[in-house]
Amino acid sequence: MRNHLVAGFTVAMIGFAGSVYAKVSESEAERLGNELTPVGAERKGNVSGSIPEWTGGLGSPPAGWEPGQVEINPFPRDDPLFVITADNVDLYRNKLTDGHIRMLEQYGPEFVMPVYTTRRTAAFPDDVYDKSRENALSAQLLSNGNGVRDAVMTSPFPIPENGLQVIWNHILRYRGEELSFRSSSATPQVNGSYNQVVNQYDYFFAYSRRGADLTDIDNKIFYLKTDTIAPSSLAGTITLVHETLDQIRSPRLAWRYDAGSRRLRRSPNLAYETDLPNASSLRSVDQKDMYNGAPNQYDWELKGKQEMFVPYNAYRLHDESVRPDDVIRPRHINQQLARYELHRVWVVEAKLRTGISHIYPRRVFYVDEDSWQILASEEYDSEGELWRLSEAHNISYYSEPVFWTTMEMTYDLKAQRYYIDGLDDGFRAYDFNPGFRGNEFSASAARRAARR
């Protein structure tokens, strides 16, 4: 983790049991939409101009895109400004994560980081911006920080005071009201050979439903159902998750249907450090979406804000013509398809609490100021050594203005292997309006679907 922080403050979330972190004042909230963007980022660019002013993001689709199509690249004429390699890494060291430095040094010359013009594309609907300001005035962390109250729809703390608020901003960021898509994952061998696991993902974001209040959402953030399509040995496996807002009052509920046993069973251990299914022990459950679940195992420290080269505007990886063979390479993805840009990120360090067990005693997260999306994270082992680097390659979607991942991966620097999710094999565009109803995500509905 680099030491040159833009914001010179450190706030530790240690030992605050019984306390509640309060909403901001009316005068502070007035900054939103003025010197701050509606979601709390610095509107202005940096002094050098390498980070531009935020002027609304990519609020409308580029010419040539039609509803129902996969997103096209809005910047087809962009070429890299420069490429970071193992040979020139020292020139850029103060703007790179420790994980990216290790990747460059360990996997150079094949692993490179092409850096493009910074495009601040993150944009959301106007009512999300309105709700962001309302949340700023009302949202509070629950005791011990294991939940949030008096917030709905989007990130609750657009002007954060501590690391835990930043992580909750990521967990509760706006991702639409519902979503249906298909993608595949893989865990390539060291030589680059791989097998795909294809899943259908269906989300119902109760927390983000327009017009919903805290009573309506019944303490739920979202409902998720995944249905494994391939390979045939796993086909028919269904996972159902009810993700909760107050995770002490009601922890995450999860069920799994195994086609072999033809039974839907509760999965109480589908959380924290448990191996993510079909990830070959290269990723834990709480690394899905870069970080998810109750944050109660760690003390969270906000290190400040820093300008860093991070994955951004990954439209080349998202392109409908790109297939898994184009992306997967031995030890890391095809970096010629990746895009990195200079952005300001919040840096949050998580250290395991005394008496708690987790495979990652220390983690560092780099959170986009424009969207509250975690863009990269570093995971450390029990000896304090850097073990894994995770990346989220993101785009702004068009049919519903959201900034979200199109592809995620976790690189294991010891095993020299990686887990990748979000591979497109000719699948249809993400559908942000599939017309789901909440009762379609009950355990009984999943059981009926499995038996059909």
**Domains of the chain, residue spans:** 80-450
* 80-450: CATH topology: outer membrane lipoprotein receptor (LolB), chain A (2.50.20)
- Non-local (6+) Cβ contacts of 395 within 8 A are 71, 121, 313, 314, 315, 318, 403, 404, 406
- Non-local (6+) Cβ contacts of 374 within 8 A are 170, 290, 291, 365, 366, 367, 368, 392
Q: What pTM was computed for the model?
A: 0.95
Between CA 124 and CA 250 the distance in angstroms is: 30
Contact between residue 76 and residue 318 where contact means Cβ atoms under 8 Å apart = no
Q: Which residue has the tokens 């900054």?
A: 31
List the pLDDT tens digit at each of the 452 positions of the chain.
444 454 444 444 443 443 455 689 999 999 999 999 999 999 999 999 999 999 999 989 999 999 999 999 999 999 999 999 999 999 999 999 999 999 999 999 999 999 999 999 999 999 999 999 999 999 999 878 889 999 999 999 999 999 999 999 999 999 999 999 999 999 999 999 999 999 999 999 999 999 988 888 999 999 999 999 999 999 999 999 999 998 777 889 999 998 777 789 998 889 999 999 999 999 999 999 999 999 999 999 999 999 999 999 999 999 999 999 999 999 999 999 999 999 999 999 999 999 999 999 999 999 999 999 999 999 999 999 999 999 999 999 999 999 999 999 999 999 999 999 999 999 999 999 999 998 999 999 988 887 66
Contact between residue 113 and residue 86 where contact means Cβ atoms under 8 Å apart = no
Between CA 396 and CA 209 the distance in angstroms is: 20
Residue 263: its H or E element: strand 263-266
Closest C-alpha to 203, from 226, 187, 227: 226
Between CA 240 and CA 196 the distance in angstroms is: 21
Q: Is the dihedral of CA 214, 216, 222, 223 positive or negative?
A: positive
Between CA 312 and CA 327 the distance in angstroms is: 16
Q: Residue 231, preceding bond cis, omega within 30 degrees?
A: yes
Q: Is the dihedral of CA 257, 261, 262, 266 positive or negative?
A: negative
Q: How far is CA 268 from the centre of its chain?
A: 23
Q: The tokens of 448 are what?
A: 């009926």
Long-range contacts for 256-261 (Cβ within 8 Å, ≥24 apart)?
A: 257/446, 257/447, 257/450, 259/234, 259/235, 259/450
Q: How far is CA 452 from the centre of its chain?
A: 33
